[in-house]
Amino acid sequence: MGKIEEMIGLGADFWSDSCDLRELSAAVERGAVGATSNPVIVSTVVAEDPDTWDPHLHRIEREQPGLSDEALAWRWIDAIAVEASRLLLPVFERTRGAKGILNVQVNPEHARAPEKMIDQARHLASLAPNLAVKIPLTREGLVAIEALSAEGIRTNATVSFSVSQAIAAAEAMERGMRRRSRGDSAFTPYVTIMVGRVADHLKRVQEAEMLLADPGAADWAGIAIFKRAYARFRERGLRPVLVAAAYRHRRQWSELIGDGLVQSIPYKWWCAFDASDVPLTNTIDHPVSPSILSELSRYFPDFVRAYEDDGMRPDEFDRYGASVATLRQFEAGYRELVARVSRLRGRS
């Protein structure tokens, strides 16, 4: 038994953190029941597999002449989503819609424009029955998440790094689901915590401010935040499923294993995890060492903000350091995709 199969046996669902058809096919063979993408992932996928994706772009350009570079880029993203969703459709059908979900993200440049996110989410959700729409967890994103949940559109709150964000997103989803005219037991929204990006942010702060915290403390920050959010979801009976993402080391995998959560793992990481001899147990309820929490709290006010239930207000979400860095990276990935479209036009 590989370690990924062992992880699944301990209750955690496995997603491929990629919409690359080759990587997703391999992940499904190893038990993946979902996949995700974002502008950086999509930009990487089309660059690394041009033989598959460039013909799609040229076909769309022939069939819909006159599109702007940005409009053509989004039709390209649509095509990628449709093709990737097909690989997960058998899982979706077997589980009657509970699993087999491909997550596709709205334009990161609209992270503070709820109506634009809502309109685009409606379009993305219409592409296939097994799609969820990733919404950046800004104050405006909460508005979009609640509205879409009320319409029966499955969402995944992303650009999320804190307990307060996770709770706010889950509560918005719950409000939206309560507004629906009919129930759907298979309808499951998701809240992602990008555990590795929390550590990235704290390490940047540590270097910039010459903080003398233990060099390994920051690596536990995202783990501690995820564990606390998971406990709060169970205590409050919140139905959305927590997703761990953005891996930087093995503990962000092995310390977050248990029932009713998702691990969204990039191809290279899950291959390494699967072939490892790391012992696995149900660890989601194992507390992070008090000494580590003390070290993080002593040196990093931004850890405290992310760890406490009410550490940030919604109007602070997009000003948190990890949010700023991630939105900038997503916007850059999207711009690179549009630039690639511009370079390829007319070469069919």
Q: What is the DSSP letter of 276?
A: -
Write down the pLDDT at residue 89.
98
Write down the pLDDT at residue 182.
63
Write down the pLDDT at residue 185.
57
Helix pair angle (69-94, 39-48), 10° resolution: 100
Find the mean pLDDT for residues 75-96.
97
Read off the pLDDT of residues 238-249 as tens digits, 9 standing for 90 and up. Answer: 999 999 999 999
Write down the pLDDT at residue 39.
85
Write down the pLDDT at residue 85.
98
Write down the pLDDT at residue 348.
43
Q: How confident is the model at residue 181 (pLDDT cuts 50, 70, 90)?
A: low
Residue 338 has pLDDT above 60, yes or no: yes
The mean pLDDT of the chain is: 96
Asked if 326 and 197 count as a contact pair (C-beta separation under 8 A), the reply is yes
Residue 186 has pLDDT above 70, yes or no: no
Write down the pLDDT at residue 254.
98
Could you tell me what percent of the chain has a pLDDT over 90?
95
Q: Which of 149-153, 178-182, 193-197 has the lowest mean pLDDT?
A: 178-182
CA end-to-end span of the chain? 46
Find the mean pLDDT for residues 215-219.
96
Residue 347 has pLDDT above 90, yes or no: no
Write down the pLDDT at residue 149.
96
210-218: Cβ within 8 A, 24+ apart? 211/299, 211/300, 212/299, 213/295, 213/296, 213/298, 213/299, 213/300, 214/292, 214/295, 217/292, 217/295, 217/296, 217/299, 218/296, 218/300
Write down the pLDDT at residue 80.
96
Read off the pLDDT of residues 35-71 as tens digits, 9 standing for 90 and up. Answer: 999 888 999 999 999 999 999 999 999 999 999 999 9
Find the mean pLDDT for residues 274-290.
97
Could you tell me what percent of the chain has a pLDDT over 70?
97
Count other C-beta atoms under 10 Å from residue 58's C-beta: 15
